[in-house]
Chain A
Amino acid sequence: MNVKTWGLLFAVLLPAACSDEANGKTAVPGQPGATKTVAVNRALRRAYDGAPPVIPHQDFAAACVSCHLTGMAVPDIGYAPTVPHANVEFGGAMARCRQCHVYSETDEVFKESEYVGFAQDLRKGDRLHEFAPPRIPHQLLLRENCLACHDGPAAREEIRCSHPERTRCLQCHVPTNHGTVFVR
């Protein structure tokens, strides 16, 4: 299944609260007038799940963090999601957003591609039993701010956290990436 099909699936699964779905936007809960991108468009901005998204808007000649640091509703544009990376406001390794996020100057392609990017089921974090906290199914690097994606107006319903007030997420949710089976 390719990115597009997954995206469509998510779009269908989404609650029918989409007031502006024809434009690829859905209303942001609790943010009058603000919209967020539907899952299908979100998927189209990434080569695969885990890839840095391309920048979907024009160059506003402003620092990226002026909207994306805390997340912000931008009238007539949509909701600028919170950046999930650590230390963005202090310069450093994360200071050059456009090292990874690029604008699109055209919709054309140089040559057709047969590439099919990996698309994950967002609810894939496995649990030991029904009441256990799910493990984290993705890399934590560059995703230090859990709530950027799991809470707030930009969060997708499938991965929205029910208890954002408990700020130490990693106390209960552990990553799965590099573990090995313990053998004494």
Chain B
Amino acid sequence: MAAAKLDMQPEDPNGLTWDKAPCRYCGTGCGVEVGVKDGKVQAVRGDERSPVNKGLLCVKGYHLPSMLYGKDRLKYPMLRKNGKLERISWDEALDLIAEKFGTALKDKGPNGVAVYGSGQWTVFDGYAALKWVKGGMKSNNIDPNARLCMASAVMGFVTTFQSDEPMGCYEDLDVAEDIFLWGNNMAEMHPVLFSRVLENKRKNPDVRIIDIATRRTPTSDYADVYIEFRPGSDLALANGILHLMVKNGQVNKSFIEENCVFKRGIEDVNEIGYGCFGEQANKYGFKDKAKDSNYDEFVKFLADYTPEKVAEISGVSKSQIELLASMYGDRDRSTLSLWCMGVNQHTRGTWMNNLLNDLHLVTGKISRPGNNPFSLTGQPSACGTAREVGTLSNRLPADMVVMKKAHRDKAEKIWKLPEGTINPKPGLHAVDMFRSFTRGDTTAMWVQVTNPWVTIPNLNRIKREPNDGKFLVVSDIYPTPTTDVADLVLPSAAWVEREGVFGNSERRTQQWHKMVEPPGEATEDAWQIIEVAKRMGMGNLFPWASDNWHEPMYEEYREFTLGVAKDVASYKQLQETPGLLWPVVDGKETRYRYAAGYDPYVKKDKGVHFYKGKGYGERAAIWLRPYHPPAEEPSAEYPFWLCTGRVLEHWHTGSMTRRVKQLHQAVPHGYVEINRADATTMGVKTGDKVRLVTRRGKLELPVKVDGRGKTPAGSVFVPFFDEHLLINQLTLDAMDNISKEPDYKKCAVRVERV
């Protein structure tokens, strides 16, 4: 395909050809230039024209090229026969999937099939899967691993603004004066964005970084203020800040009157539950019920959260709570709140998202440069694919949901399907999908671009041996614990081995061309889905020429976004630019949503206009959300907190980054970080082994006393990238019952000397 390229010299003095692509890894979406020579990616460099990273990358980004060339790349479709994976042809593989999914549909109905995808799906992969599952199989059993990652942020934005995704952009990082990080190790998880924060601070020395966390991390080393709270008590802390701002008259009443309504939902802890065990296991059908509230009720509700009480719940001192309130309430300084997994992977994640939005709404510090609540995403297209295309069990593209007839009608019209095709009942969300597959209610499942047998919490609950009468197909680029339990393994094309589109954390849609051939017979995930759909008699869903379907598919998807303030850029424009921030109207991107002068959908002359909040009279909702304790807390038997997470060098389960020599050698295996005082008491030192035991499982791990992070006494931290040390055998599958996102950040654990 003729590539419309950015302004760049075609001939490199060293014989490399360079073309642009977003980085394959995190949700930052750095622009990289990919250097190809002799049909292979040999080098990359930061793209200086990308407004995201301005030429800088992190160690993962700089080492992207070798991610493609691990010796054990999957190259051919492999079917398990007599316990062993054996090469078969693509035709056999695709026929088999069509047959198995067809049978499951016939026997079990829409619940018999499931597709588990990813925030690393390109827009093409996600759109093809969504259309096949919802428009073809009339099922809603499609969910991405993004459910484990940012579903709480989605529900937070949706309940507050009735439209998903942040209003700000990365420019906020360059201009904000007070930058609050809520449970967010930005230096390791979004390193290039943290560089922008540090550069802002270098140029403006009065910029303050406030790190509110449960563990000291490399990020804390650069913070002006470090505030440590007891796991789960961030809800109380945020309410405590709101309490003081009300008390001290720092609330912007005219902003609230003009732009906000008040809401509260169900607050009974027993009614909501935690969705994980005992009676609560059946509570994940919970639906919140919103009711109207008002400012007076808000003030009354907050009266409980005195600094004394909040200090008792959170372990944060009264003076620190007062400090936070005085900073958030300061009208003369701009305020940015950033968060990621700490807030989202939380049994009350939606609530915590609501409260962070509240902090900005009550002060009016929103939709202005440097003033925003800004959720960061972990995956390269968690926003672009999972959230915008809507590859979730309850969603359709561009903020639409299957439960609403008008939304189904619109999708059926664009997809040229008869009215009533789309199933109005939401499908299984990620955790439930795996429980259903284990129970045998779902019998055919397809996993693409993700590694659930490493990442699902409480892994022992979904243990599987192949050949159990059910059918699991896994598309990936390397063997993983997930391909180990698959019946059929398909080889996928990775990153620049195929054409793609990703959408990053700041609403930037980015496109790239295929630059090298995939190995062996590997193909792109979207192609695999289209071919299966054709074999199931659903070829009408994908009517495009087999050698030119990317642009027409994207343009069809784009129809969903136009006119509803989610307008993504045209394919042509994406090819010519380093990406654009939606809504893109008349070819122009929007840096600040809801802001007069920036957002073309705003009808006001000045200030903000939350025009997406149709149900709130085109306003945003300030939610009253109480503190609830975590699902499981340390006890005499299990006296420590267990928190899990990532490290800079490895991305997710390490299936890509561990095959990069430099990254593997930097962090070769998993470990448990223990506080120095606890280690001394236990008599263990770095390198010794300890056994971690939770109510769900046990695991031996080498100790790191302190380590790069310094976990407080009474808590331990374990990274989850190591497939040989599966910490998710121990984690708790408790969920936020609004977003259905599990909590990987807190459960109770015992540490035993080995």
User: Interface on A for B, CB 8 Å cutoff?
Assistant: 47-52, 54, 87, 90-96, 98-118, 120-121, 124-126, 135, 137, 139, 141-142, 176-180
Judged by a CB distance under 8 angstroms, whether B417 is at the interface is: no
Complex contacts, B666 vs chain A, CB 8 Å? 54, 102-105
CA distance A179 to B7 in the complex (A): 8
Closest to A103 in B: B666
CA distance A4 to B68 in the complex (A): 20
CB pair A100 B198 closer than 8 Å: no
- Given A99-B59, A115-B65: A124 and B43 within 8 A (CB)? no
Complex contacts, A177 vs chain B, CB 8 Å? 9
Closest to A54 in B: B662
CB pair B665 A118 closer than 8 Å: no
CA distance A84 to B172 in the complex (A): 29
Complex contacts, A125 vs chain B, CB 8 Å? 13
Which parts of B683-730 form the interface with A (CB within 8 Å)? none
CB pair B663 A113 closer than 8 Å: no
The number of residue pairs between A and B whose CB atoms lie closer than 8 Å in the complex comes to 161
* B488, chain A: closest CB distance, angstroms: 22
Closest to B205 in A: A91
Complex contacts, B558 vs chain A, CB 8 Å? none
- Given A96-B195, A105-B665: A48 and B42 within 8 A (CB)? yes
CB pair A126 B13 closer than 8 Å: yes
CB pair B69 A106 closer than 8 Å: no
CB pair B65 A137 closer than 8 Å: no
CA distance A94 to B202 in the complex (A): 10
Which of B50-58, B360-368, B526-534 forms part of the interface with chain A? B50-58
CB pair B16 A117 closer than 8 Å: no
CB pair B48 A139 closer than 8 Å: yes
Complex contacts, B195 vs chain A, CB 8 Å? 92-94, 96, 99
CB pair B42 A117 closer than 8 Å: yes
CB pair B71 A113 closer than 8 Å: yes
A94-B195, A102-B59 provided; 11 other pairs, C-beta below 8 A? A47-B660, A49-B43, A90-B202, A92-B202, A100-B62, A108-B665, A110-B658, A113-B661, A117-B66, A126-B13, A137-B14
30 example contacts (A-B, Cβ-Cβ < 8 A) are as follows A47-B662, A51-B63, A52-B59, A54-B662, A91-B198, A92-B199, A93-B56, A93-B196, A93-B198, A96-B191, A96-B222, A99-B191, A99-B192, A99-B194, A106-B664, A110-B659, A111-B70, A111-B72, A112-B70, A113-B661, A114-B71, A115-B65, A115-B69, A116-B69, A118-B14, A118-B43, A139-B55, A141-B48, A142-B46, A142-B55
Complex contacts, B68 vs chain A, CB 8 Å? 115
CB pair B668 A47 closer than 8 Å: no
CB pair A111 B659 closer than 8 Å: yes
Complex contacts, A51 vs chain B, CB 8 Å? 43, 62-63
Partner of A116, one of B40, B71, B218, B654: B40
Digitize B179-222: 1 where CB-to-A-CB distance is under 8 Å, 0 elsewhere. 00000000100011011101101110000000000000010001
CB pair A92 B56 closer than 8 Å: no
CB pair A113 B70 closer than 8 Å: yes
Judged by a CB distance under 8 angstroms, whether B225 is at the interface is: no
Which parts of B111-133 form the interface with A (CB within 8 Å)? none
* B218, chain A: closest CB distance, angstroms: 7
CA distance A58 to B46 in the complex (A): 28
CA distance A176 to B13 in the complex (A): 8
CB pair A117 B8 closer than 8 Å: no
* A170, chain B: closest CB distance, angstroms: 16
CB pair B43 A50 closer than 8 Å: yes
Query: What 9 pairs between A and B have smallest CB-CB spacing?
Result: A92-B202, A115-B66, A118-B42, A102-B666, A115-B69, A118-B43, A93-B199, A112-B71, A93-B195
Complex contacts, A117 vs chain B, CB 8 Å? 42-43, 65-66
Most buried by A among B58, B192, B658, B662: B662
CA distance A115 to B668 in the complex (A): 19
Closest to A104 in B: B665
CB pair A92 B9 closer than 8 Å: no
Most buried by A among B35, B654, B665: B665
Partner of A102, one of B7, B13, B187, B649: B649
CA distance A137 to B222 in the complex (A): 35
CA distance A141 to B32 in the complex (A): 13
Judged by a CB distance under 8 angstroms, whether B550 is at the interface is: no
CA distance A112 to B658 in the complex (A): 11
CB pair B58 A87 closer than 8 Å: no
CB pair B664 A110 closer than 8 Å: yes
Complex contacts, B663 vs chain A, CB 8 Å? 102
* A69, chain B: closest CB distance, angstroms: 16
